[in-house]
Structure 1
Amino acid sequence: MDFRISPQIEDYRARIAQFVQDEILPVEANRDSWDEHGNIAKDWLHPLREKAKAQGLWCLQLKPETGGQGLGKVGMAVCYEEMNRSIFGPVVFNSAAPDDGNMMILEQAATDAQKERWLAPIVSGAVSSSFAMTEPAPGGGSDPGMMQTTATKVGDKYILKGRKWFITGAADASHFITLARTSDDPRRGLTAFLHHKDEPGWKLERRIGIMGPEEHGGHCELIYDDMELPADRVLLGEGLGLKVTQMRLGPARLTHCMRWLGLAKRCAEIATDYAENRYGFGVRLADRESIQIKLGDLAMGIETGRLLVMKAAWALDQGSFAKKEVSMAKIHTANLLHKAADVAIQINGARGYSTDTVLEWIYRYGRQARLVDGADEVHQMVLNRHLADEGRDFWKWQPAEI
């Protein structure tokens, strides 16, 4: 097994690392650059984005013909981890959720006309987007088959009616991908639609307050009240909404994991720096066995996460849906992120609990990781189904073709 990365990927990784060090971390350290929701303020974000574009570090995840560099999932794993050394990193490179996943599914599933209208403005950074799937009970959450929002075809139009919530980025988004039920068919009953924020028939009911810091546009509740959309707003095809979710959510889950590894490494970095320079009772913290055990265990957990993520990324690049690989990576890295922040806060003491570092930001943000894109328990059930179906072949190595 060859774990070496290509010279091209290493070049991007190194340049991203330098950009984060020189350009983004100084902005992150300046609290004047933070907005009221704990993200980078837009007037600070735009100049950094222009610098990233000028250095060829923009939308690396997309195909060259779309405006990216075609890195593939393995290259993304390397680069996304490096981007999220800073809490502001991914959005600077246009690699943050939900735009990241929305651009990739539009690139894959949209028609040429849809790409020009709905994808290109997100790629350029002119607009942001949202993916509206999750609903209040008894509607769809981790199980999209429970979806209550309906789209009824009348002539050459669809009439959407229903409610969505915890829709990431919706308050700032201009372009929306919305899932609705078009029939009761268990496999082909859902359809994905495209719409613009300025179209009538829907409203943003509220921005839901959450424990952690927020992406731009927050997490919102939306109401569709007889919204009319023409047939050309259907993405991929009527009845193929479940396929759209499968195509989008697997890779999008993994990109979360890639970014979370970067944040976990940042926690270890802050903890290590403090331990190396803090003395107590005549002993440096870094020389205490209890601290060494904590940091050693954390380092191993991060490396385990990197291997799980890289295997899943490789599988996706081979054309697999990588369902069990993504689920394992998602469970591990979500829990790792929370642990990394907790350990780093403990080592830093009161300093870690304060806003003098980003550790408390990461701690609050990290708790949602075990919920977003499928709770731990959902992914554990997925793994159990694979185990039940595959038996000992669950752990089978894939032979190379001769």
Structure 2
Amino acid sequence: MDFNLNAKNESYRARIRDFVEQHLLPLESNPEAYDEHENIALGHLEIMRGKAKHEGLWCLQIPEHLGGKGLDISGMAACYEEMNRSIFGPVVFNSAAPDDGNMMVLAKVGTEAQKERWLKPIVEGTVSSAFAMTEPPPGCGSDPGMMQTSAKRVGDKWVVNGHKHYITGAAAASHFILIARTSDDARKGLTAFMFHKDDPGWEIIRRIPIMGPEEHGGHCEIRFDGLEIPDENRLMEVGDGLKLTQIRLGTARLTHCMRWLGLARRSLEIATEYVNTRESFGQTLAQREGVQWLLGEAAMDIQVGRLLTMHAAWKLDQGDFARKEVSMAKVAVADTLHKAVDTAIQLCGARGYSKDTPLEWIYRYARQARLVDGASEIHKMVFSKTLLAERADFWRWGV
């Protein structure tokens, strides 16, 4: 592959970099810019989103005919990385999870009527969304086959009963994608549906407290008790729920990597600025060999993560499922984010551990990277199985 960005992608990347520098990095130092869950406060978010729309930097990942800018996945990789040099970045450009993945899958599989009703408001930024799949034990986590939430057809409607938890963004969402069991078939037993927050028959039990700063809407536990969903709000065919999940998560997992690389870079930027000016025993910290080793190793790991991510993005652009490439990127970049911010805190000392920089925010946020959208151990199983099946061909070059 050619690692040079085309003119369109480079233009968007450079403009996003300027926007982040001019508007978002300064905003992070304003205590009033944060809500009670340590995310950007809604008033400030509305202002920044207005600026992003005005500058033509809104919803880059969605096709132009649906209201976006139509970037390919390689372009998204470069731009999402720049966005998340700010902890506020992705949500400002309407490129944050879970809306990001939900919009992309609806753009791919929704009917025209479904796109108009369910996708368009998310693209416009007038509503947010959630993806309801994960369940408490004995329900599904990494194994969708353990799905307990059921949808039973009654006439032209589906009646849903069950229990979900850690549903990101649920407390703020208006539009939900729900995965529920519709049969006992091992491969075709799950089906996907859309429902609205005002539909009766479901409730948020609680917003689950977490270790790190939270996305808008938190991570919620929800219960379904007779929620009725018209068949017209079913996504794809009956039994295609697992297929929809795979379509959504392939690119969505990689967009996590893109964003995490931005946070990793920001962490090293803060550290390098500090060690270049902080003196100790007649030298700046940057002049010390041990410091150089720490910085160099973290910088190298970030570059490895960027190459893995861009290679997976390129393969997705070619129409490949890129399953092993996405899984390898997910594992590597999750580890790299933690290593980069941990290194930065170590080099910045007490300043890094304090709230005088966003490093402690990034550190707490980074711990979830090895868990979300499949734990690292699950992804290692994915590409190790591929290795066992392909043997030497695991490392083949495309022709």
Query: TM-score surpassing 0.5?
Result: yes
| Normalised TM-score (structure 1) | 0.99
Residue matched to 1:385: 385
Residue matched to 2:330: 330
Structure 1 Cα separation of the partners of residues 84 and 128 of structure 2:
19
Residue matched to 2:350: 350
Q: Residue type matched to 2:324 in 1? A: K
Q: Residue type matched to 1:3 in 2? A: F
Residue deviations 1:54-91, cap 9 Å, x none? Answer: 11100000100011111110000000000000000000
Structure 1 Cα separation of the partners of residues 229 and 98 of structure 2:
22
Residue matched to 1:218: 218
Runs of 4+ residues over 4 Å off in structure 1: none
Q: Is 1:46 aligned to 2:53, yes or no?
A: no
Structure 2 Cα separation of the partners of residues 5 and 229 of structure 1:
44
SS in 1 for 2:3: coil
1:195-274 to 2 correspondence within 5 Å?
195-274=195-274
Identity of aligned residues (%): 64
Residue deviations 1:9-48, cap 9 Å, x none? Answer: 1110110000000011111111110011010000000011
Structure 2 Cα separation of the partners of residues 2 and 91 of structure 1:
29
Aligned length: 399
Residue deviations 1:174-205, cap 9 Å, x none? Answer: 00000000001111100001000001000000
Structure 2 Cα separation of the partners of residues 193 and 33 of structure 1:
36
Aligned-pair distance for 1:263? 0.2
Structure 2 Cα separation of the partners of residues 75 and 2 of structure 1:
13
Aligned-pair distance for 1:279? 0.5
Residue deviations 1:275-299, cap 9 Å, x none? Answer: 0000111111000000000000011
Aligned-pair distance for 1:160? 0.3
Structure 2 Cα separation of the partners of residues 398 and 225 of structure 1:
50
Q: Residue type matched to 1:121 in 2? A: P
Which segments of 5 or more consecutive residues in structure 1 lack a partner in the other structure?
A: none
Structure 1 Cα separation of the partners of residues 168 and 10 of structure 2:
32
SS in 2 for 1:293: helix
Residue matched to 1:13: 13
Structure 1 Cα separation of the partners of residues 308 and 33 of structure 2:
34
Question: For the aligned residues, what is the CA RMSD?
Answer: 0.6
SS in 1 for 2:160: strand
SS in 1 for 2:28: helix
Residue matched to 1:363: 363
Q: Residue type matched to 1:308 in 2? A: L
Residue matched to 2:172: 172
Structure 2 Cα separation of the partners of residues 6 and 316 of structure 1:
17
SS in 2 for 1:29: coil
Aligned-pair distance for 1:156? 1.1
Structure 2 Cα separation of the partners of residues 216 and 11 of structure 1:
29
Aligned-pair distance for 1:397? 0.4
SS in 1 for 2:228: strand
Which segments of 5 or more consecutive residues in structure 2 lack a partner in the other structure?
A: none
Structure 1 Cα separation of the partners of residues 290 and 151 of structure 2:
58
SS in 1 for 2:75: helix
Q: Is 1:317 aligned to 2:317, yes or no?
A: yes
Structure 2 Cα separation of the partners of residues 342 and 302 of structure 1:
13
Residue matched to 1:397: 397
Structure 2 Cα separation of the partners of residues 25 and 292 of structure 1:
26
Structure 2 Cα separation of the partners of residues 238 and 325 of structure 1:
30
SS in 1 for 2:164: strand
SS in 1 for 2:209: coil
Structure 2 Cα separation of the partners of residues 180 and 143 of structure 1:
13
Structure 2 Cα separation of the partners of residues 34 and 162 of structure 1:
34
Q: Residue type matched to 1:56 in 2? A: G
Residue matched to 2:279: 279
SS in 2 for 1:173: coil
Q: Residue type matched to 1:378 in 2? A: I
SS in 2 for 1:165: strand
Residue deviations 1:211-258, cap 9 Å, x none? Answer: 000000000001000111110110011110000000000100000000
Residue deviations 1:269-319, cap 9 Å, x none? Answer: 000000000011111100000000000001100000000000000011111
Structure 1 Cα separation of the partners of residues 29 and 106 of structure 2:
35
